[in-house]
Structure 1
Amino acid sequence: VRSADDPTERRILDAAAQLGVTGLTGCRRWTVYHLEGQLSSADVARLCAEVLVDPVTDEVAIGEPAAAGRVVEVAPIAGVTDGAARELERAAAVLGLPPLRAATARRHELSGDLDDDDVAVLTQRLLANPTTECSGSGELAPSFSPTWEVAPVASPVRLIGLDDGQLAGLSRQRMLSLDVTEMRAIRDHYASCGRDPTDAELETLAQAWSEHCVHKTFKAEIHLTHTRADGHLEVSRHDGLLNALRRATAELDAGWLRSVFVDNAGIVAFDDELDLAVKVETHNHPSALEPFGGANTGVGGVVRDVMGVSARPIACTDVLCFGPEDLAEADLPAGVLHPRRIRDGVVAGIGDYGNKLGLPTVNGAVLYDPGYVGNPLVFCGALGLLPKDSHPTAPRAGDRIVVIGGRTGRDGIGGATFSSAGLDASVMDRAGSAVQIGDPIVQKGCIEVIERARESGLYNAITDCGAGGLSSAVGEMGAELGAEVDLATVPLKYPGLAPWEIWLSEAQERMVLAVPTEKVAPLQDLCTGWEVELSDIGSFTSTGRLVVRHGACDVIDLPMEFLHHGLPGRTLVAEHRDPAIAAATTGSPPAIDNEKLLLDLLAHPNVASRESIVSSYDHEVRGGTVVRPFAGPAADGPTDAAVLKPLGTWHHDRAVALAVGLNPRLTRAARHRRGVPQPHRRRGGPFPGRPAGQLQLGRPDETRPARIAGAGRGGLRRRGPPLPRPVRLRQGQPLQRVRRPGGARHAADLRRRDRAGPASGGDERPDHLRKRPVAGGTRFRPPGRVPGG
Structure 2
Amino acid sequence: NPAIVAARRKVGLGERITDVELESLAQTWSEHCKHKIFNALIRYENEEGKETVVDSLFATCIKGSTKEIREAMGKDDWCLSVFVDNAGVIRFNDDYNLVFKVETHNTPSALDPYGGALTGIVGVNRDPFGTGKGAKLIFNTDIFCFATPFYSKPLPKRILHPRRIYEGVREGVEHGGNKSGIPTVNGCIVFDDRFLGKPLVYCGTAGIMPSRIMGEPSHGKEIKAGDLVVMCGGRIGKDGIHGATFSSEELHEGSPVSAVQIGDPITQKKMTDFLLVARDRGLYRALTDNGAGGLSSSVGEMARLSGGAEIDLEKAPLKYSGLNPWEILLSEAQERMSLAVERGKIDAFLALSRKMDVESTVLGRFTDSGKFHIRFADRTVAFLDMEFLHDGLPQMQLRAKWAPPKHREPGFPEPDNMGHALRTMLSRLNICSKESVVRQYDHEVQGGSVVKPLTGAANDGPSDAAVVRPVLDSFEGIVVASGICPRYSDIDTYHMAACAIDEAIRNAVSVGASLGHLAGLDNFCWCDPVQSDKTPDGEYKLAQLVRANRAVYDYTKIYGVPCISGKDSMKNDYQIGDTKISIPPTLLFSVIGRIEDVRKAVTMDVKKPGDLIYILGETFPELGGSEWFAQNGFIGNRVPAVNGEKAKKLYTALGAAIRAGLVASCHDCSDGGLGVALAEAAFAGGLGLSVDLSRVPCSGIYRDDHLLFSETQSRFIVTVPPEHRDRFEETLKGNTFACAGQVLEDGSFRVNGIRGNRIIEDDIRVLKEIWQKPLKF
TM-score by length of 2: 0.70
Equivalent in the alignment of 2:101:
279
- Is contact 1:548–1:554 with CA below 8 Å preserved after alignment? yes
Alpha-carbon offset, residue 293 of structure 1: 0.5
For residues 761 and 592 of structure 1, the distance between their equivalents in structure 2, rounded to whole angstroms, comes to 29
* Residues 1:339 and 2:162 are matched in the alignment: yes
The amino acid across from 2:565 in the alignment is R
Equivalent in the alignment of 2:558:
721
Q: Deviations over 1:145-169 (max 9, x none)?
A: xxxxxxxxxxxxxxx9xxxxxxxxx
Equivalent in the alignment of 2:307:
481
Q: Alignment partner for residue 499 of structure 1, among 307, 321, 325? A: 325
| Aligned partner of residue 239 in structure 2, secondary structure | coil
- Is contact 1:725–1:736 with CA below 8 Å preserved after alignment? no
Q: Alignment partner for residue 298 of structure 1, among 102, 120, 124? A: 120
* Residues 1:687 and 2:512 are matched in the alignment: yes
Equivalent in the alignment of 2:447:
623
For residues 193 and 588 of structure 2, the distance between their equivalents in structure 1, rounded to whole angstroms, comes to 25
Alignment of 1:5-44 (within 5 A): none
Q: Alignment partner for residue 556 of structure 1, among 377, 382, 387? A: 382
Alpha-carbon offset, residue 439 of structure 1: 0.6
| Aligned partner of residue 187 in structure 2, secondary structure | strand
Equivalent in the alignment of 2:191:
368
* Residues 1:455 and 2:283 are matched in the alignment: no
Alpha-carbon offset, residue 464 of structure 1: 0.3
User: Quick one: structure 1 residues 272 and 774, their matched pair in 2 at CA, closer, same or farther if it must change by over 3 Å?
Assistant: farther
* Residues 1:203 and 2:30 are matched in the alignment: no
Q: Alignment partner for residue 732 of structure 1, among 569, 575, 589? A: 569
Equivalent in the alignment of 1:124:
none
Equivalent in the alignment of 1:8:
none
Alpha-carbon offset, residue 715 of structure 1: 2.6
The amino acid across from 1:646 in the alignment is P
User: Quick one: structure 1 residues 496 and 194, their matched pair in 2 at CA, closer, same or farther if it must change by over 3 Å?
Assistant: closer
Alignment of 1:459-474 (within 5 A): 459-474=284-299
| Aligned partner of residue 423 in structure 2, secondary structure | helix
Equivalent in the alignment of 1:250:
67
For residues 728 and 661 of structure 1, the distance between their equivalents in structure 2, rounded to whole angstroms, comes to 16
User: Quick one: structure 1 residues 777 and 411, their matched pair in 2 at CA, closer, same or farther if it must change by over 3 Å?
Assistant: same
For residues 615 and 341 of structure 2, the distance between their equivalents in structure 1, rounded to whole angstroms, comes to 49
Equivalent in the alignment of 1:23:
none
Q: Alignment partner for residue 756 of structure 1, among 604, 609, 621? A: 604
Larger CA deviation: 455-464 vs 279-288 = 455-464
For residues 418 and 258 of structure 1, the distance between their equivalents in structure 2, rounded to whole angstroms, comes to 33
Equivalent in the alignment of 2:261:
436
Alpha-carbon offset, residue 574 of structure 1: 0.3
| Aligned partner of residue 325 in structure 1, secondary structure | coil
Equivalent in the alignment of 1:644:
468
User: Quick one: structure 1 residues 556 and 395, their matched pair in 2 at CA, closer, same or farther if it must change by over 3 Å?
Assistant: same
Larger CA deviation: 268-277 vs 778-787 = 778-787
The amino acid across from 2:461 in the alignment is G
- Is contact 1:211–1:731 with CA below 8 Å preserved after alignment? no
Equivalent in the alignment of 1:348:
171
- Is contact 1:726–1:735 with CA below 8 Å preserved after alignment? no
For residues 761 and 776 of structure 1, the distance between their equivalents in structure 2, rounded to whole angstroms, comes to 31
- Is contact 1:413–1:504 with CA below 8 Å preserved after alignment? yes
Q: Deviations over 1:709-744 (max 9, x none)?
A: 11123333445626534433434397766477xxxx
Alpha-carbon offset, residue 591 of structure 1: 3.5
Alignment of 1:374-453 (within 5 A): 374-388=197-211, 389-424=217-252, 426-428=253-255, 431-453=256-278
User: Quick one: structure 1 residues 658 and 716, their matched pair in 2 at CA, closer, same or farther if it must change by over 3 Å?
Assistant: closer
For residues 362 and 612 of structure 2, the distance between their equivalents in structure 1, rounded to whole angstroms, comes to 60
CA RMSD across the alignment: 3.0
- Is contact 1:729–1:735 with CA below 8 Å preserved after alignment? no
Q: Deviations over 1:556-605 (max 9, x none)?
A: 1111111111101111200112455987x88x825443343333223222
Alignment of 1:60-79 (within 5 A): none
For residues 507 and 553 of structure 2, the distance between their equivalents in structure 1, rounded to whole angstroms, comes to 23
| Aligned partner of residue 413 in structure 1, secondary structure | coil
Equivalent in the alignment of 2:529:
700
| Aligned partner of residue 459 in structure 2, secondary structure | coil
* Residues 1:358 and 2:189 are matched in the alignment: no
| Aligned partner of residue 219 in structure 1, secondary structure | coil
Q: Percent identity?
A: 40
For residues 452 and 325 of structure 2, the distance between their equivalents in structure 1, rounded to whole angstroms, comes to 48
Equivalent in the alignment of 2:664:
none
* Residues 1:666 and 2:502 are matched in the alignment: no
For residues 334 and 568 of structure 1, the distance between their equivalents in structure 2, rounded to whole angstroms, comes to 36
Alpha-carbon offset, residue 449 of structure 1: 1.6
The amino acid across from 2:400 in the alignment is A
- Is contact 2:63–2:563 with CA below 8 Å preserved after alignment? no
- Is contact 2:79–2:564 with CA below 8 Å preserved after alignment? no
Alpha-carbon offset, residue 676 of structure 1: 0.8
Equivalent in the alignment of 2:749:
none
| Aligned partner of residue 384 in structure 1, secondary structure | strand
| Aligned partner of residue 436 in structure 1, secondary structure | coil
For residues 224 and 762 of structure 1, the distance between their equivalents in structure 2, rounded to whole angstroms, comes to 47
Aligned residues: 583
Q: Deviations over 1:591-641 (max 9, x none)?
A: 443343333223222222111111111110000011111111111111111
Alignment of 1:89-238 (within 5 A): 195-228=15-48, 233-238=49-54
Q: Deviations over 1:175-219 (max 9, x none)?
A: xxxxxxxxxxx99x999x962211111000000101111111111
Q: Alignment partner for residue 788 of structure 1, among 633, 639, 652? A: 639
Alpha-carbon offset, residue 706 of structure 1: 0.6
| Aligned partner of residue 264 in structure 1, secondary structure | coil
For residues 713 and 763 of structure 1, the distance between their equivalents in structure 2, rounded to whole angstroms, comes to 34
TM-score by length of 1: 0.69
Alpha-carbon offset, residue 477 of structure 1: 0.6
| Aligned partner of residue 382 in structure 1, secondary structure | strand
For residues 476 and 772 of structure 1, the distance between their equivalents in structure 2, rounded to whole angstroms, comes to 50
User: Quick one: structure 1 residues 730 and 631, their matched pair in 2 at CA, closer, same or farther if it must change by over 3 Å?
Assistant: closer
For residues 676 and 393 of structure 1, the distance between their equivalents in structure 2, rounded to whole angstroms, comes to 34
For residues 422 and 561 of structure 2, the distance between their equivalents in structure 1, rounded to whole angstroms, comes to 38
For residues 324 and 385 of structure 1, the distance between their equivalents in structure 2, rounded to whole angstroms, comes to 37
Q: Alignment partner for residue 269 of structure 1, among 71, 80, 91? A: 91
User: Quick one: structure 1 residues 603 and 582, their matched pair in 2 at CA, closer, same or farther if it must change by over 3 Å?
Assistant: closer
For residues 614 and 17 of structure 2, the distance between their equivalents in structure 1, rounded to whole angstroms, comes to 61
Equivalent in the alignment of 2:583:
none
- Is contact 1:689–1:739 with CA below 8 Å preserved after alignment? no
- Is contact 2:102–2:523 with CA below 8 Å preserved after alignment? no
Q: Alignment partner for residue 567 of structure 1, among 365, 389, 393? A: 393
For residues 709 and 410 of structure 1, the distance between their equivalents in structure 2, rounded to whole angstroms, comes to 35
For residues 579 and 505 of structure 1, the distance between their equivalents in structure 2, rounded to whole angstroms, comes to 44
Gaps of 5+ in 1: 1-159, 161-185, 741-745
Equivalent in the alignment of 2:402:
576
- Is contact 1:259–1:726 with CA below 8 Å preserved after alignment? no
For residues 8 and 199 of structure 2, the distance between their equivalents in structure 1, rounded to whole angstroms, comes to 39
Larger CA deviation: 692-701 vs 303-312 = 692-701
- Is contact 1:316–1:359 with CA below 8 Å preserved after alignment? yes
